[in-house]
Structure 1
Amino acid sequence: MDIEVVRSRFQKHFNGEIGSVYASPGRINLIGEHTDYNGGFVFPGAIDKGMMAEIKINGTDKVRAYSIDLKDYVEFGLNEEDAPHASWARYIFGVCREIIKRGGKIQGFDTAFAGDVPLGAGMSSSAALESTYAFALNDMFNCGIDKFELAKIGQATEHNYCGVNCGIMDQFASVFGKAGSLIRLDCRSLEYKYYPFNPTGYKVVLLDSVVKHELASSAYNKRRQSCETVVAAIKKNHPEVEFLRDCTMEMLEAVKNDVTAEDYMRSEYVIEEIQRVLDVCDALEKGDYETVGEKMYGTHHGMSKLYEVSCEELDFLNDCAKKNGVTGSRVMGGGFGGCTINLVKEELYDAFIADAKESFKAKFGRSPKVYDVVISDGSRKLA
């Protein structure tokens, strides 16, 4: 993403003025899927694609915002009744309102922003946008809000102004990202720890199936329900259990006859996935990327066969990775579409991408989109 482009558009729309420039990244999640609402761990990292905004205080009580990518301009006030109609502007408005609710003093400002996070590919473009403005406005208006609260401001914006009941992972990764590191986030306690991720000789690449990333909400809710049903059954013998994160396979086995085969299968995936995250952390501390890859394949198998949230296109891309000797591959995100994330040795990269494109197109009539990503820093001021 080019700072010069953002600067030139800002000057064009706001009388040649110059403001401050801030950026926040999108994210990947290496492993740990459907573990968040089960009290488990996720393992995200910030990427080298994100959102960038130029901002200047304008001395009024109005925000004047220009979306460079959409070529759309909106003005709005800072009171609750001033909420803009344009969905993209609601993210900025929501961040302003959430800061104000926390005692921050926000005044009117001019802003132009652009992004290079692919939309709908599961890399959290909306979290990148929220984090950019939360970080920037906190800095510019000296609100004194800590980074954790900035992530929560982004999450609350989704809940209260955009109608998305998301977890904290996306905003957390965007604000806390660190080049060369992934972050293990404990979704129960919100404790976190950085782990080294410097896969020399490997590339991280996402293959977008271009299947609509609709988290079929009814299917998602059904899976949450399965997990809660099993926890309730285990709790009868183990009152200390609150989430599947607290359960072992032995505990699950003991209630096998008290729950449906489907509920058992869903829970088996989650318990194994929480362990896989911990195994990957151990492997990264030893620089053992072969084990990391093996666990990624394990996650894909579990999501496809036990949690049943994959789809034909994603399974095809995973098989293609296996066939081409890719170290690790899995569906990334909630499932039902979106991308696979792949850890590929550099010498195998070209052949893998060529085969994936060609064979996928032969079967599905279109090519997958290819996104190379590098683990990068979180929210920051650029100029």
Structure 2
Amino acid sequence: MQLDALRRAFLNHYHTEPLLIVSPGRVNLIGEHTDYNEGYVLPGAIDKTIAVALSPSGNDTCEVHALKLQQTDRFQLSTLTRGEGWQNYVRGVVHFLLHNGYQVQGFHAMIDGDIPIGSGLSSSAALEGAFSFGLSELFQLRVAPLELAFIGQQAEHQYVGVRCGIMDQYANIFGKRNQLIRLDCRSLKHVYYPFQFPDYRIVLCNSMVHHSLASSAYNERRQQCEEGVALLKKYHPEVKTLRDVSQAMLHEHIREIPPQIYMRCMYVVEENERVLLAGTCLQEANLEMFGELMYASHTGLQKQYEVSCEELDYLVELTLNREEVIGARMMGGGFGGCTINIVHRDGLEDFKQYMTSQYEKKFHRVPEIYVGQIVEGVHVVD
């Protein structure tokens, strides 16, 4: 993605210099489907980004061009309603800025980016962050960082229809270069852990199976977790979410909990424990154990939470006997998207060729492979 090209396109169309915002996608090293259960996650911002060029329109009209899609959305602030598809991420952010009392004015915007849609890198949170942060900067609204994350989440809930947790938006806003964020999704406080292993790379293998988190399965998993909590509450009134549940507690009530609900809950409880242990591994620079936790996470997502798919499982299976791979697992909501792998740089090219050839042979589809770095969260480009 060329920021200069975006700036020139904006200048040619609107004849004014734009404010340029770069908003990263995110990877989550471990801690999947724990965020909406008030658990722990370990994400970081990654150098696949959405860029937005912005300027005031001088009236009530908002006009947004999505360059890659060759689509334009126009709406008035005074009569703001839902749109379709990607439009709702932008409109939802504008709605909740206004709803929270911020004096948003009309604007012109152009969007470009290189986050693959549907890959599990959270292009949605990157788009929400670009506009919540960008409009705050453009109109000097001084919205606090945590509120920016909440506004993105509210847009997703109310305008898009996905009851997502806060992790994606949080990582987009609070990301730091070479740092992972261990976020406590209950207190919304975080600790940074260094991810500085110069001999290793974060590599994403895109299954090219595109998913939508608005699918019923995502919301169904959330509902199943809530059902498990409701059953346990009868015996343990202190339980508010699965964050408050232990493995022993689940074992104690195994007969009262339907088997499928039990599996969903056990996965979340074990995954929270893995995230806490992963933080210790980073502190001790124990990347080998960190990798083992990633594999255990994938097994849980595959067999207990049942949000993987044949393609993701195969991509993880391919890494098991590769010396250059420390760990791998599916990442994101599931049912497609990417696996995340930690790969030694010396074996990177062999890894890419092997994964591509084996996957193409089995599924007649070429996986895209991205080598990423942990980068700064959403920011203005000078």
Task: Check whether TM > 0.5.
Answer: yes
1:237-248 aligned at under 5 Å gives the runs 237-248=235-246
Residue number in structure 1 paired with 2:328: 329
Give the Cα separation in 1 of the matches to 2:188 and 2:252: 30
Give the Cα separation in 2 of the matches to 1:275 and 1:346: 29
1:174-323 aligned at under 5 Å gives the runs 174-215=172-213, 217-323=215-321
- What stretches of structure 2 of length at least 5 have no aligned partner? none
Determine if contact 2:176/2:377 at 8 Å carries over to the other structure: yes
Give the Cα separation in 2 of the matches to 1:198 and 1:351: 23
TM-score by length of 1: 0.94
TM-score by length of 2: 0.94
Give the Cα separation in 2 of the matches to 1:237 and 1:82: 46
3-state SS in 2 of match to 1:87: coil
Q: CA deviation at 1:259?
A: 2.0
3-state SS in 1 of match to 2:74: strand
Change over 3 Å in CA distance of 1:262–1:98 after alignment to 2: closer
Give the Cα separation in 2 of the matches to 1:225 and 1:109: 38
Give the Cα separation in 2 of the matches to 1:105 and 1:60: 13
Residue number in structure 1 paired with 2:21: 22
1:62-211 aligned at under 5 Å gives the runs 62-79=61-78, 81-83=79-81, 85=83, 87-211=85-209
Residue number in structure 2 paired with 1:367: 366
Residue number in structure 2 paired with 1:5: 5
- The one-letter code of the counterpart of 2:268 is V
- What stretches of structure 1 of length at least 5 have no aligned partner? none
Give the Cα separation in 2 of the matches to 1:10 and 1:351: 41
Q: CA deviation at 1:3?
A: 1.3
Determine if contact 1:25/1:48 at 8 Å carries over to the other structure: yes
Please, which moves more after superposition, 214-223 or 201-210?
214-223
Change over 3 Å in CA distance of 1:382–1:158 after alignment to 2: same
Give the Cα separation in 2 of the matches to 1:235 and 1:316: 38
Please, which moves more after superposition, 256-265 or 111-120?
256-265
3-state SS in 1 of match to 2:271: helix
Q: 1:147-189: CA deviations, max 9, x gaps? A: 0101111112222322332221111111111111111111222
Q: How many residue pairs were aligned?
A: 381
Please, which moves more after superposition, 356-365 or 96-105?
96-105
Give the Cα separation in 2 of the matches to 1:271 and 1:140: 42
Change over 3 Å in CA distance of 1:159–1:236 after alignment to 2: closer
Determine if contact 2:162/2:219 at 8 Å carries over to the other structure: no
- The one-letter code of the counterpart of 1:7 is R
- The one-letter code of the counterpart of 1:35 is T
Residue number in structure 1 paired with 2:344: 345
Q: CA deviation at 1:74?
A: 3.3
Residue number in structure 1 paired with 2:380: 381
Q: CA RMSD in A?
A: 1.8
Give the Cα separation in 2 of the matches to 1:2 and 1:190: 34
Q: 1:97-122: CA deviations, max 9, x gaps? A: 22122221122222222111111101
3-state SS in 1 of match to 2:320: helix
3-state SS in 2 of match to 1:25: strand
Change over 3 Å in CA distance of 1:224–1:156 after alignment to 2: closer
Change over 3 Å in CA distance of 1:298–1:153 after alignment to 2: same
Q: CA deviation at 1:216?
A: 8.2
Determine if contact 1:233/1:255 at 8 Å carries over to the other structure: no
Give the Cα separation in 1 of the matches to 2:13 and 2:151: 28
Question: Where in structure 1 do 4 or more consecutive aligned residues deviate above 6 Å?
Answer: none
Determine if contact 2:6/2:110 at 8 Å carries over to the other structure: yes
Among the aligned pairs, what percent are the same residue? 45
Q: 1:268-294: CA deviations, max 9, x gaps? A: 211111000000011111111111111
- The one-letter code of the counterpart of 1:119 is I
Please, which moves more after superposition, 68-77 or 150-159?
68-77
